[in-house]
Amino acid sequence: MTYLYNDPADFADELVDGFVAANSRWVRRVPGGVVRAGRPHPGQVAVVIGGGSGHYPAFAGLVGSGLAHGAAMGNLFASPSAQQVHSVARAAENGGGVLLSYGNYAGDVLNFDQAQERLIEEGVPCRTVVVTDDVSSASVEELRKRRGIAGDLVVFKVAGAAAQEGADLDAVAAVAERANDRTRSFGVAFSGCTLPGASEPLFVVPAGRMAVGMGIHGEPGIEETDIPTADELAGMLVDRLLTEEPADSNGRIAVILNGLGSVKYEELFVLYRGVSARLVEHGLTIVEPEVGELVTSFQMAGVSLTLCWLDDELERLWRAPASTPGYRKGAVCDAASADGAEDELAVTDTTGGRPEGEDVIPPASEDSRHAAEVVVRALVAARTAIEADVDELGRLDAIAGDGDHGIGMQRGVAAAATAAEEAFARGAGAGTVLTRAGDAWADRAGGTSGALWGIGLRALGAAVGDDAQPHAAQVATGIRDALEQIMRFGKAQVGDKTLLDTLAPFSAALDRSVQSGAALAAAWGEATAVADDAARATAQLTPKIGRARPHTEKSLGTPDPGAISMALILRAVHRVLLEKGSPDD
């Protein structure tokens, strides 16, 4: 249970305020997260990490000398937006390029990849290493589908130490990749976690039982067993990881026994007693083990074990000193303080991450302004529809996911509606209003759905433009462009049990109706009926990507929350199009 909070919607922002106030020796706040308080040596590679909040000390607590240079901080259990990642990376970058590293979750991949593209376009060298250490989330034949859990720390630590030594970007990326390839983790949970404002935990483990293979975002385990003794659990964890010992192992390993939030240190030490003995029996030499809370899951009761099979270079970097708010080793010399100076590259506004001085509204025709008013009303209606069903969307998502879809959609659509209203009040046309709304949605919501809705709205805005009132065929083209862009960036297909399973049939039906001569409102209504049926039909699909993928049996029979929220919004837009004064051509 979470006891201390104000407004749950403000929890993530307020925890950053408190974290920075408590740790100003190490970090300073920038839009989107935190960076080191002092500047590293010019030309040093900037290691930028990140992910959802709720995992302290990951990710912000790992920023400091010898480890990360910056951390992008998303909402609770939701990835940071592309704007947040870009902002933190620009603030941390110091002439040596940027290495992005994070756990392998769909939303993180989507948003960090967009940020990387933007950095490269701006002339900043950038590489990515995605952490894939969790043996429970995919088979050894599908290593790249595995998610990142406590093995994050090994990869981040090695990369940060290499950067501290002065290695160039290619070398830092290479050693981080090698660390990831040689790191494996396995975890269990005894109870789920309850987020601020929620009345129920994300999942429940029956009394006397243990969930095996759970994820750090509250995803339930892949099976349940009776709770073993500490020594029996030690054997289970060690034996599973040793099945993937590399053929070239030299017998030297880094070990992390990680508490997920509610298992006390004394219990961890009892468990580590058995872990250490089991590893020594196997003939392994343990190098500077870590026992404690390092990558948590709010207040989940559970533990994970991580092993990294070291080589000479990895061992040197694992042993290297580091000084951060949440992880310290050896003695380091901190860089000079930045004296609280603002980093002009990182200053952004609240409507989607545009730098100051670039917030100019393009000229628009009166016809486009009329259409923009309809767009604003549609987004306000979408906000109302999502707010009415936010709890149900969260419930659907919690069945096989982490339960944050409702709150993420609520934050995203609210930000989009506000940005649209502000842009329209300043004279924006329909295309600009949609683009500003998309930027705000992606930035505020974070996560996979936030990024995808941002991509879709921007694609629609580009097709509509600001020159004239859009006609029905132009809107249909914009919806088709949005579908194609979401598929390209999201790497999903129809049938994967995502929002595409609603959007694709909607787009096809809209095209057919428009081509037959129907006005926009009528065509949209026909397509919405198709979308409603398609959204409900996702109950019979099994997930192919995302956090629900390992839990297909739990998902079967339940519609996809992203598909349902898409249908809700399409229906809300149709009601606006039917109102007097809406474009109907």
What is the model's pLDDT at position 556?
Answer: 80
In this structure, the answer to whether residues 429 and 292 fall within a common structural domain is no
471 against 334, higher pLDDT: 471
Query: At 385, which amino acid appears?
Result: A
Average pLDDT rounded to a whole number, residues 13-35: 96
In this structure, the answer to whether residues 312 and 370 fall within a common structural domain is no
pLDDT band, residue 133 (cuts 50/70/90): very high
pLDDT tens-place string over residues 306-357: 999 999 999 999 999 999 999 999 987 655 444 444 444 443 343 444 544 4
pLDDT at 127 over 60: yes
Q: 106: alpha, beta or left, given left = phi > 0 and alpha = psi -120 to 50?
A: alpha
Average pLDDT along the chain: 91
Pair 529, 522: CB distance under 8 Å: no
In this structure, the answer to whether residues 177 and 272 fall within a common structural domain is yes
Residue 193 structure tokens? 């976690």
pLDDT band, residue 538 (cuts 50/70/90): very high
529 assigned to some structural domain: yes
311 against 77, higher pLDDT: 311
In this structure, the answer to whether residues 319 and 391 fall within a common structural domain is no
In this structure, the answer to whether residues 550 and 485 fall within a common structural domain is yes
Residue 367 structure tokens? 């016809």
What is the model's pLDDT at position 220?
Answer: 63
Residue 390: give its domain's CATH number.
1.25.40.340
Residue 303: give its domain's CATH number.
3.40.50.10440
Taking alpha carbons only, the member of 87, 105, 93 closest to residue 69 is: 93
pLDDT at 566 over 70: yes
Range name among 41-55, 72-86, 419-433, 542-556 with the lowest pLDDT average: 542-556
DSSP state of 68: B
pLDDT band, residue 580 (cuts 50/70/90): low
| 62: Cα within 13 Å, side-chain hemisphere | 33
Residue 480 structure tokens? 């088709």
316 assigned to some structural domain: yes
Q: Which helix (H) or strand (E) holds 304?
A: strand 301-309
In this structure, the answer to whether residues 291 and 152 fall within a common structural domain is yes
What is the spatial distance between Cα 261 and Cα 296, in angstroms, rounded to a whole number?
5
Q: Which of 333, 350, 379 is the last residue of a domain?
A: 333
In this structure, the answer to whether residues 393 and 434 fall within a common structural domain is yes
In this structure, the answer to whether residues 428 and 328 fall within a common structural domain is no
30 assigned to some structural domain: yes
What is the model's pLDDT at position 407?
Answer: 85
Taking alpha carbons only, the member of 266, 121, 282, 149 closest to residue 217 is: 149
| Strand-pair category, 183-191 with 126-131 | unpaired
Q: Show the domain range for 417.
A: 366-578
pLDDT tens-place string over residues 387-406: 999 989 988 887 767 677 88
pLDDT at 235 over 70: yes
In this structure, the answer to whether residues 237 and 170 fall within a common structural domain is yes
pLDDT at 358 over 80: no
55 assigned to some structural domain: yes
pLDDT tens-place string over residues 373-385: 999 999 999 999 9
What is the model's pLDDT at position 342?
Answer: 45
Q: Which of 309, 333, 357 is the last residue of a domain?
A: 333
pLDDT band, residue 1 (cuts 50/70/90): confident
* Count of structural domains, the chain: 2
In this structure, the answer to whether residues 426 and 488 fall within a common structural domain is yes
In this structure, the answer to whether residues 390 and 478 fall within a common structural domain is yes
What is the model's pLDDT at position 350?
Answer: 38
360 assigned to some structural domain: no
Q: What is the pTM of this model?
A: 0.86
Pair 182, 314: CB distance under 8 Å: yes
pLDDT at 412 over 60: yes
What is the model's pLDDT at position 546?
Answer: 58
Q: Exposure string (b/e) for 491-512, b if CB count within 10 Å is 16 or more? A: ebebebbbbbbbbbbbbbbbbe
Average pLDDT rounded to a whole number, residues 539-556: 68
In this structure, the answer to whether residues 431 and 287 fall within a common structural domain is no
358 assigned to some structural domain: no
What is the model's pLDDT at position 359?
Answer: 74
What are the residues whose beta carbons fall under 8 Å from the beta carbon of 30, sequence distance 6 or more?
70, 87, 88, 91, 343, 346
What is the model's pLDDT at position 306?
Answer: 98
What are the residues whose beta carbons fall under 8 Å from the beta carbon of 409, sequence distance 6 or more?
386, 390, 393, 445, 449, 565
What is the model's pLDDT at position 218?
Answer: 66
Q: What is the DSSP string of 432-448?
A: HHHHHHHHHHHHHH-HH
Active site residues: 217
